[in-house]
Amino acid sequence: MQEKPIDKEEILKELDEIHKLDNDYADGRILGSMCTEAHPFAKEVYCKFLDTNLGDPGLFKGTKFIEDEVIKSIGNLLSLDNAYGNIVTGGTEANIMAIRAARNHARKYKGIADGEIIIPESAHFSFKKAADMLNLNIVEAKLDENYKIDVDALKEVISDKTVAIVAIAGTTELGLIDPIEEISQIAHENNIYFHVDAAFGGFSIPFLKEIGYDLPVFDFSLPGVCSITVDPHKMGLAPIPAGGIIFRKEEYLNVMAVDSPYLTVKTQSTVVGTRIGASSAATYAIMKYFGREGYCKIAENLMNNTKFLKEGLEEIGYDVVCEPELNIVAFNHPELDADVLSQKLEKLNWKVSVAKCPVAIRIVLMNHIKKSHLKELLEDLKEIY
């Protein structure tokens, strides 16, 4: 740090210069991100609550009330009347909390000491972090030919060490929804904790269903589902960081509680101590601002763009990996390697990402990608072809 204070203007000038190195969502060039520009109203509210700390909720009773209300409304969206949980930093922290709850529950009620979690091969890497931190082994459930959990293969890997089964509603690479209803039944019958990672799909599947899309049930209406991750900072248009973890029962929070004797509440279940309240406030505001009607429109628009891209790609001869269920399109050139194609697109200043299972270019159609950007992209892909 330099010795003397520097003028605000000078600091801002320097920061603006550095900020130019960042990509801007508004350019429509970021094609592989699940994040997007937050809604301006959500950002405005976020700034108002910047100093609130949910780590000591007795000091911020208003913001704690807001967090509880957000959890209730997300729970409501997921067919749960009395939801418990927290607004956290994102899908990773939400998944860590779910796995921690499952592990502690199995330790307390079943005496499982060295547990395992069953996750699909398509699971987000956050589960690897969770297993590592929580000292659990990972058992991978194979996928079927449609890139979804193979239920028979899943049944085979269940053991007396299984502390949790995980399924995905909106996989990271392809946006697919696992056969959650069948898995819920298996988990229920075997008395095993079942977590659904809907970090990506949580803010769109309920709305798409509402407007008539034929998508499978993935929520708490299934008796086996114990917890669901849903991220407001993805399709919810809340500012980063905003993840959500929703539990069916309060006991899942209780089994994680540690004493916090000198705080305004005497126990704490979250991973994080000092904890941002602004994310809860911004999520509260944006959910009220859009309502179900607004989110239905957003989800429909994203799916229209998805269809437009998928059909456009097929028209010019690219192979689309699977019929999109949510707003992700994965595709390949019939001859070029995905990595080679990705480099060609990078040269044309498109920021794409390459899926690994199967290897393919993967485009996540977030709110910042407009039809005009897709037309431009298709023109470039036609040229490359």
Residue 65 tokens read as: 């009330």
Q: Is 270 in the site for ligand 0PR (CB under 6 A)?
A: no
Nearer to ligand 0PR, 83 or 245 (CB): 245
Phi, psi dihedrals of residue 150, rounded to the nearest 5°: -85, 110
Q: Is 278 in the site for ligand 0PR (CB under 6 A)?
A: no
Q: Is 126 in the site for ligand 0PR (CB under 6 A)?
A: yes
- Give rounded-to-5 percent helix, strand, coil for the chain: 40, 20, 40
Nearer to ligand 0PR, 60 or 202 (CB): 202
Residues in 83-102 at the binding interface with ligand 0PR, rule: CB under 6 A: 90-92, 95
Taking the complex as a whole, how short is the minimal distance between the CB of residue 147 and ligand 0PR, in angstroms? 13
Residue 255 tokens read as: 């089994």
Nearer to ligand 0PR, 22 or 214 (CB): 22
Short-list 210, 274, 253, CA closest to 76: 210
CA 108 to chain CA mean position, Å? 29
Nearer to ligand 0PR, 200 or 207 (CB): 200
> Please, which residues bridge with residue 149 across strands?
143
Taking the complex as a whole, how short is the minimal distance between the CB of residue 253 and ligand 0PR, in angstroms? 20
Nearer to ligand 0PR, 67 or 178 (CB): 178
Phi, psi dihedrals of residue 329, rounded to the nearest 5°: -120, 125
Strands of 51-205 (E only): list them.
84-88, 116-120, 137-141, 162-168, 193-198
Q: Is 218 in the site for ligand 0PR (CB under 6 A)?
A: no
**What does the per-residue mask of binding to ligand 0PR show for 147-176, with x meaning CB under 6 A?**
---------------------x---x----
- To the nearest 10 degrees (0 to 180), the angle between helices 278-315 and 371-384 is 40
Q: Is 35 in the site for ligand 0PR (CB under 6 A)?
A: yes
Cα–Cα dist 238/41, whole Å: 9
CA atoms within 13 Å, Cβ hemisphere of 117: 32
Q: Is 25 in the site for ligand 0PR (CB under 6 A)?
A: no
Residue type, 75: G
Q: Is 280 in the site for ligand 0PR (CB under 6 A)?
A: no
- Please give the span between the terminal C-alpha atoms of the chain, in angstroms, as a whole number: 52
Taking the complex as a whole, how short is the minimal distance between the CB of residue 321 and ligand 0PR, in angstroms? 16
Q: Is 34 in the site for ligand 0PR (CB under 6 A)?
A: yes
Taking the complex as a whole, how short is the minimal distance between the CB of residue 191 and ligand 0PR, in angstroms? 25
Q: Is 28 in the site for ligand 0PR (CB under 6 A)?
A: no
| Candidate residues 46, 194, 200, 350; the one interacting with ligand 0PR per rule CB under 6 A | 200
Short-list 230, 233, 284, 227, CA closest to 256: 227
Q: Is 269 in the site for ligand 0PR (CB under 6 A)?
A: no
Q: Of 21-29, 33-41, 263-271, 323-331, which part binds ligand 0PR (CB under 6 A)?
A: 33-41
Total residues interacting with ligand 0PR, rule: CB under 6 A: 16
Residues 6 or more apart from 247 whose CB is under 8 A from it? 83, 84, 85, 98, 101, 226, 227, 253
Cα–Cα dist 182/52, whole Å: 42
Nearer to ligand 0PR, 90 or 206 (CB): 90
Nearer to ligand 0PR, 112 or 180 (CB): 180
Q: How many Cβ atoms sit within 10 Å of the Cβ of residue 6?
A: 9
Taking the complex as a whole, how short is the minimal distance between the CB of residue 316 and ligand 0PR, in angstroms? 26
Q: Is 67 in the site for ligand 0PR (CB under 6 A)?
A: no
Residues that bind ligand 0PR (CB under 6 A): 33-35, 90-92, 95, 124, 126, 168, 172, 197, 199-200, 231, 243
